[in-house]
Amino acid sequence: MNNKDFKALLGTELPIIQAPMAGVQDSKLAIAVAKVGGLGSIPCGMLSPAQVVDEIKRFRAATCAPLNLNFFCHELPPFDTQAQARWHELLAPYFDGLGIAADLGQGGASRMPFNHEIADAIEAFKPEVMSFHFGLPQEDLLKRVRSWGSKVISSATSVAEAEFLAMQGVDGIIVQGIEAGGHRGMFLSDDVNTQVELETLLTQIASRVDVALIAAGGIGDGHGVKAAMENGACAVQIGSAYLLCDEANTSSLHKAAIEHAAKTQGHTALTNIFSGRPARGLVNRAMTELGAMNPHAPAFPYAANLMAQLRKASEAIGMSDFSPLWCGANITACRKISAGEMTLTLMESVPHDHDNKYEYMSRSYADN
Ligand SMILES: Cc1cc2nc3c(=O)[nH]c(=O)nc-3n(C[C@H](O)[C@H](O)[C@H](O)COP(=O)(O)O)c2cc1C
C-alpha cells in the first residue's frame, strides 16, 4: 500500500481522477465527477486558450471542488510535405471510395503543446492540479505553473520515464499501463515493445521512486481500484469507464462501437494511424487494412490531417471506419450510468471516509 496522501496531492475526498479525454468530454463530465468527490479533469490539448478559459469558468461556476487541467507537451516537428504525400498515396483509394478530394495543406496542427500563451490565459484561475501527457513542459513553463501553487502530475509508461519525472520533482506520477485507452504518454522511447501491463509497471515503479503514484489503465470497478492501491498507488486515474456515461460527449458512433465490442468480445489495439503516436482504440476498418502500427504515418500530430478528412466524410454517412475509437482494453467497464454513480461504484471495494459533501461541492467557486 502506498503511504502517500492522495488528499494532499489532489485535494479531493476520493482517490479517483476522472481521466482527461480530449475529444470526448468537457467540463460537464468533470463537474459531475467533482460533485461526488473525485477529481474532475478538463482535457485542453485540442482547445484554444479562449476555449480553455470558457471551460474553466463553467467548472468554477458549478463547483468549488479542485480542478485538473490537462495539456500535451510534445515537441511539434515541422510539417513534412513528403511524409504527407507518402501517407496520401496509401490513403488515396479511401478518398476515391468516399468520393472526396484530399487537402494536402498543413492546416492548423490538431494538437498544440502547452505554451506561454495558454499559461497567460489560465494563470488567474490557479488550477489546483495540472497534468501533462508526453513528458513535461520546458523548465520556464513548469516554473510558472508551480508559482500558481498547482500540483504537477504527468504520465509515465516505463520505469525510466518515472525516474525522469521524479528527478524533475513532479508531485505525482500517473503510471499508465498498456491497457489504457487513448494515447500512450510515452516520451523517452517510441518503441511500443517497452510498454507493459499496469500491475507489472506499478510494482516496478513503486520499488524505484518515492513519489505519489496514480494508477491508470484498464481499471473499471472497485476490485481494480483496490488492487491498484495494494500495488503501490495512492489514487487511480480512470478514463474509458466513463465513455458511456450520461455527461460524456462520446459520439453516437463511438458509443455504438463500444457497445458492439462489449457484446461481441471485440478488442482494442495500439495504433498510430490516427495521429502519428501510439494510442489504444477499438479495432476498425482503417486499423485492419492499413495495419494498426503503420511506419508511414506522419509524425504526431500530422497523421491526423488526412485521417480527419476521411473520418468526417465517413461519419457523415454513418460509418466509423476512419474514426479513432479510443477505448481501453477493459471494454466492459464502460457503463451507461451517470458519472457520479460510476465514481461511487468505483469506490465500492475501497474503505474511505466519504462524508457526502454534495452540498459543499455544488457551491460555485465564487460563493466559497
Ligand atoms: C477517449 C480517451 C481520450 C484520452 N485523452 C487523453 C488526453 O487528452 N490527455 C491525457 O493525458 N490522457 C488521455 N487519455 C488517457 C487517459 O489519461 C488514461 O491514461 C486512460 O484513460 C486510462 O486507462 P483507461 O481508459 O483504461 O481507464 C485518453 C483516454 C481515452 C480513453
Q: Are residues 278 and 311 in the same domain?
A: yes
Residue 280 is part of which domain span? 78-108+248-336
Q: Report whether 37 contacts 43 (CB < 8 A).
A: no
* Residue 215 and residue 148 share a domain: yes
Determine the residue of 240, 242, 332 to mutate for testing ligand 1's pocket, defined as the one with the most ligand atoms within 8 A of the Cβ atom: 240
367 C-alpha to ligand 1 centroid (Å): 32
Same domain (yes/no): 287, 151: no
Q: Is there a single domain that holds both residue 212 and residue 264? A: no
Query: Which amino acid residue places its CA nearest to atom 6 of ligand 1?
Result: 21
Distance 147 CA to ligand 1 centre (A): 27
Q: Are residues 94 and 175 in the same domain?
A: no
Our answer on whether the CB atom of 261 is closer than 6 Å to any ligand 1 atom is: no
Same domain, 193 and 122: yes
What is the CATH number for 42? 3.20.20.70
- Are 257 and 159 found together in one domain? no
Q: Are residues 33 and 152 in the same domain?
A: yes
Same domain, 70 and 13: yes
State the residue for C-alpha cell 460524456: 248
Residue ranges in the chain assigned as alpha helix (H): 6-10, 27-34, 49-62, 81-98, 116-122, 139-147, 159-167, 198-206, 222-230, 252-263, 285-290, 303-316, 339-346, 358-362
228 lines ligand 1 (CB under 6 A): no
What pLDDT score does 331 carry? 98
Angle value at C-alpha 7, between 49 and 38, nearest 5 degrees: 60
pLDDT along the chain (368 residues), means of 10: 82 97 98 98 96 98 98 93 96 98 81 94 98 97 98 98 98 98 97 97 97 98 97 98 98 98 96 98 98 97 96 98 98 98 94 59 66
pLDDT at 361: 62
* pLDDT on residue 61: 98
* Pair (186, 146) in one structural domain: yes
203/292 same-domain check: no
Pocket test for ligand 1, best of 18, 21, 245, 254 (most atoms within 8 A of CB): 21
Looking at residue 189, its pLDDT comes to 96
3-state secondary structure of 6: helix
One domain, residues 115 and 177: yes
Number of separate domains in the chain: 2
Residue 217 alpha carbon to ligand 1 centre in Å: 8
